[in-house]
Amino acid sequence: MLKTSSTTGLILISLVSGCLIPSLAHADFIKDSKATLELRNYYMNSDNRESGASQSKEDEWAQGFLLNYQSGFTEGPVGFGLDALGLLGLKLDSSPDRTGTTLLPVGDSGRAPADYSSLGLAAKARFSKTTLKVGTLTFRQPTLQSHNDRLLPQTFRGTQLVSEEIKGLSLNLGHLTENKLRNQSGSENDDMTMSGKQVKGGQVADHFDFAGATYKWNKELTTAYNYGHLDQNYEQHYLTLAHVLPLGKNQSFKSDLRFARSTHDGESNVDNSALGTMFTYSLNGHSLGAAYQKMNGKTGFPFVNGSTAYLVNHVLLSNNFAQADEKSWQLRYDYDFSAIGLPGLWVMSRYMQGDNYERAAGGAGKEWERDTDIGYTIQSGPFKDVGFKWRNGTYRSNSDGAVDENRLIISYIIKLM
């Protein structure tokens, strides 16, 4: 990525959509191109007073701009293209005693800068139904998921190959060398390291390698195997199964099964097996889900720093309910108000509880979390497609403290081409 100030960042974003792309013009390159500009206004408040933390709260407000351009491919047996991701974050409110939300970077002075921005490019080539990308990448895979739950997304730099030559089968291979966290800018990159409870002995990794195969048996059943290797830290094998059983008009039963086995690499102590199951019954806008998650082994679940752990009980505030030997369960309810003639309005509420793990201070550990999301997207008029989301969470534990949190997110995606 390129280091930029806010002014330069805006210029670069404009160049990508207005100057750089036409200079590579080709009929299919332009005709099949897609570009969006997402405006993301984000307020976040975390109240840590119940935990006894030295900083009683984290409270910041920021505005994000995310330009996502995906070109088509040039004609010929091998087509070439270019993707671009322009990111700009602006501080609206913050102070040294309220930083830490990770909406914004924190400078050496303890203050958040007025802005941060970056431009990521990825060259790509396509042959038949196989695509190779080299450059700035984002991921949503079991062994690695870019964190995109703040102002700007986490990105990686490396190479990815996706092949869909066989009907129903998708193959995914990659090699990553750089990790940019969600609140880093310009040429800054964070070391690729290991996160997780009870994990020790890991090293700064030169690379992360991954491979996966997903097979869609029919429109109801999908299975997958994924492999991830964070050099000198851990190896991970991940099996997943997703099945949707239609039960009649506006009625279904969904099964989500996940099993991961993680072992040490180098001098780390990683030893974890993670089993997760979630079953969801849906009827006329209502969805009722129940999940169970069990950790086995000497350590908790490992994952790349800054990323999202692919676990059924990965939720808003906790550490994924993924401590060594922890057992946890979840009850969740969703409702889509379009079922009663109010499209765009939805609500989600869930409760999680975990126990059976050992606290660092000794004794049995227990934790619980309660989350509620309410969202609405305007359906018509001059503000059509503007989305509002309020997220509220409460977390309590006898090992990792306590937090009460509120987030308010306003977003709007503009289709540029």
Closest by CA to 40, choosing from 102, 98, 99, 87, is 87
Tell which wins on pLDDT, 11 or 381.
Answer: 381
Residue 410 predicted with pLDDT over 60? yes
Residue 39 predicted with pLDDT over 60? yes
pLDDT computed for residue 27 by the predictor:
53
**Domains of the chain: which residue ranges?**
191-391
- Quickly state the pLDDT bin for 381 (edges 50, 70, 90): very high
pLDDT cut 90: percent of the chain above it: 81
Residue 224 predicted with pLDDT over 80? yes
- Quickly state the pLDDT bin for 115 (edges 50, 70, 90): very high
pLDDT computed for residue 120 by the predictor:
94
- Quickly state the pLDDT bin for 148 (edges 50, 70, 90): very high
Residue 90 predicted with pLDDT over 90? yes
In our burial notation (b when 16+ CB lie closer than 10 A, e otherwise), range 329-368 reads bbebebbbeeeeeeebbbebebbbbbbebeeeeeeebbbb
Tell which wins on pLDDT, 220 or 4.
Answer: 220
Tell which wins on pLDDT, 86 or 53.
Answer: 86
Mean pLDDT of the chain: 91
pLDDT computed for residue 21 by the predictor:
45
Residue 396 predicted with pLDDT over 90? yes
Residue 207 predicted with pLDDT over 70? yes
- Quickly state the pLDDT bin for 369 (edges 50, 70, 90): very high
Q: What is the pLDDT of residues 276-307, one digit of tens each?
A: 999 999 999 999 999 999 999 999 999 999 99
Tell which wins on pLDDT, 360 or 144.
Answer: 144
DSSP state of 339: G
pLDDT computed for residue 23 by the predictor:
45
Poorest-pLDDT segment among 53-62, 82-91, 183-192, 216-225? 183-192
Strand partners, 369: 352, 395
Kindly report the CATH number that applies to the domain delimited by 191-391: 2.40.160.10
Token pair recorded at residue 48: 């840590």
Token pair recorded at residue 72: 């088509």
